[in-house]
Structure 1
Amino acid sequence: MRTRLRAAGLLDIAEKLDTRQRLSAEDGLRLFEHPDLRLVGWLANRERERRHGDRTFYNYNLRLEVTNVCQASCLFCSFARLQEGQPGAYTMSLEQAWDKVRSRDGQALTEVHIVNGLHPDLPFSYYKDLLAGFKRIRPDITLKAFTAVEIAFFADLYGMTDEQVLRELMAVGLESIPGGGAEIFAERVRRKIAHDKADADRYLAIHAIAHRLGMKTNVTMLFGHIERLDERVDHMVRVREAQDATGGFQAFIPLAFHPDNNQMRKLPAPTAADTLRTIAVSRLVIDNVDHIKAFWIATGVSVAQAALWFGADDLDGTVQEERIYHMAGSDTPDTLTTSQLRFLVERAGRTPLERDTMYNLVEA
């Protein structure tokens, strides 16, 4: 293999990895541009197996989007509606949202994952009551709710600081925040595709506050639209720098752009090869975040399976009611059972392990 790496011009990167030297942004760009995807994948798989062996994680979760009313105008979004009353707009009552958990009383759920639009007319009490109600119904379930973009929106709308918002939500049951809303950190791109919501600095600052308050969180990257490869690497490096400072990120999640039903519909979706390479480079560049997730809703099931040999060690979970990607044209199933997830992992040649939100193993 050393001969092949030398011939491919990647031996220096392999040696850096062997001696635990951090890859540079230039190294990351070389990996993106290298013609041999299989070799890049081999390097990423080696790093994955050094950390996790053949173990692959999943969780028993429920994904809820309680409102899609959103005052932001992200070009890539097929989910949001600008105001109540528009075709397709909805906002669940608290009872409707709580019923989503009540109706799953017999399921061994460990997590409710909540992401919403930026609704300008709901009171803050709606969100606090929402979480408190879930905790009354299922005290054992971890609530992973509200992206950093939502936290920033709440703070601005209700005249609070970001920390005050987090503290008040934690007091009623919030235990983690998801990674959505990161998009691409590069200001050039963000101004074009998501100009009217929290910028990269504030996104990262909110996660830093959450980490300081004791929460573990995730971080994402939306790729395959108008960003350049060097901007993908810059995003990864900024995640790595933020993790150096706080240590609170559990997983990095590359999210493939889906073009259907949004203002970027003329763009092609990223290919399977691009998705696998992005996951691989993520594993190699972001050396201080334990887990790389292949979110099967975004990648497609078969690509997610392949990704388990390109650096990914987590498939997310059962999901159950995801709308954001399906409204953007995802043709994946609405849900997978834990048995199906285990089957997919085993068919990919890996060992499935159920985890909770904090990556504690759940006994079968």
Structure 2
Amino acid sequence: MMSFSKRTVIASLFAAFLFPALPSVAANQQPAAVLQNPGAEIVVTVNGRKITQEDLDTATNNLMPLVTYHNAVSEERLKGIQKKALENIINGELIYKYAKENKLDNVDKKEIDQQMKDLKKKLPKGDSLDKVLKRSNLTLEELKDDFKKDIVVARVSKSKSEEFKKKAEQSVDEAFLRDYYKKNLEKFKEPEQIHLRSILIKADPSGGQRVWNESKKKAEEIIKLAKEGKDFGKLAEERSEDPFAKSGGDMGWAHKGSLFPEIDEAAAKLKAGEISGPIMTIYGYHVIKLDGRKPPVQKKFEELNQKKLESELEQKEHKKLWKSWLDGMKTASKVEYFKKFD
């Protein structure tokens, strides 16, 4: 569970050594209120608990991949990360409220002390916890309280996740799999297959128009010879410049979508025995011959990889249960937004 507390302010101090400051996605928007400190602007409240722009910016900062500089992230992607950070903050507040209501918020003092020790070890050289707290406008007790929240939220999240995992495993039985199969037959259909032979006349992409014209002319000559009755396989062995030449241009059976779009499009118009080309791709000009076509085939339930399907559906059910739990708590809570995040 992502940290949702004020401690993200401290966590962001370490990130500051690696990255420039996080730009505000809503920098060009009219602020909800003119404040002396823009970071203090309230963006959302969860059951009365105020979440500020500073909270959101630092949470977003912590979600940012460490291998990427902020100024290299597109505005669209940054907005997506910011939305996820806000979702994490809200969910953290909801889970902590649930923990308190169900008396699950007891934390051993030793756990908090260990968190404090770990934090001190991560402080930059020459810095101290007192200095960081002062810069972050936090007291030691507030920091410890935030550590407690993080520990509680992580513990409850793990417990609920395990609970939902068991429920998902129990619900996804053979009857569930068969029902899913019947309702989603298209997902279990082998697409149409085509059997092609191909001849490629290469063209250097940097060779200029003359080179491409020469390649096209050679391809047109091959088409003429094939239509006059010369064996396509022999032509492929003699003239093709791709790995299939040795096998007479035989590409084997292929699903639609597994070939170049230009070849797929041309092949779709052919009947068995027909030839098409020249077809231009980044490699040069292709001449193709359709040897055969297999219609789509509906897989039987018994032919499926049922273990794989079972695993996929269990994960799907797990996510559904998790979302339903969070949505239920959100509906029962008062979440007010003071800023748009479109």
- What TM-score does the superposition give when structure 2 sets the normalisation length? 0.19
The structure in which a higher percent of residues are helix is 2
- What TM-score does the superposition give when structure 1 sets the normalisation length? 0.18
